[in-house]
Amino acid sequence: MANQAQLKISPELADKIRAYGAQTYPHECCGALLGRDTEVADRRVYREIHALHPLVNRRDDSPNNRFSVTSQDVLDAEKAARQQGFEVVGWYHSHPDHPARPSQYDRDHAWPWYSYIIVSVANRIPEEMTSWRLSDDRTEFESEEIGLQRVAS
């Protein structure tokens, strides 16, 4: 993938994702990441997360280990992003009592370009948070460094 991206998110938004994971435990939480990509002088791309758009996990048949959002949810998230001057740049979800590592199922259902933030939640306590992007050939997820810092509006 050209232009290795780094994800920037404020500590407050990162804590919100953790809180959502704790609130929905033992179910998986999910939502959209709203922000923008910025290319800097050396062709590196920074992805800044400016807001979250929490969504309902539509997998009420198996919410402990699956999440899904519908195409209408995606359209609603995109509209919310546009209204705030951003775009949907990725998605977050939690892994209850499971490491913050993408599963085969995550990979099989992933879209390229998006950032996928995963937070591990053990006994309602949020733990590790990681971010991933699907490789161009769909064979793997590539880890994306999360930079905790305030992002300029």
Partner 1 sequence: MSVKVIIPTPLRVYAGKADSTEVSARTVGEALGQLTSKFGDLRKHLFTEEGKLRSFVNVYVNDEDIRYLSKENTPTKDGDTISIVPSIAGGLL
Q: How far is the CB of 149 from partner 1 (least distance, A)?
A: 25
Span between the terminal Cα atoms of the chain, in Å: 27
Cα separation, 128 vs 95, in Å, equals 10
Question: If binding is defined by CB under 8 A, does position 47 make contact with partner 1?
Answer: no
Q: How far is the CB of 123 from partner 1 (least distance, A)?
A: 15
Cα separation, 47 vs 51, in Å, equals 12
Beta bridge partners of 20: none
Cα separation, 100 vs 120, in Å, equals 5
Q: Which of 136, 140, 142, 145 binds partner 1 (CB under 8 A)?
A: 136
Question: If binding is defined by CB under 8 A, does position 24 make contact with partner 1?
Answer: no
Please give the residue ranges that form the binding site for partner 1 (CB under 8 A): 28, 30, 59, 62, 65-71, 73-75, 78, 87-88, 91, 93, 95-96, 98, 102-103, 105-106, 109-114, 116, 136-138
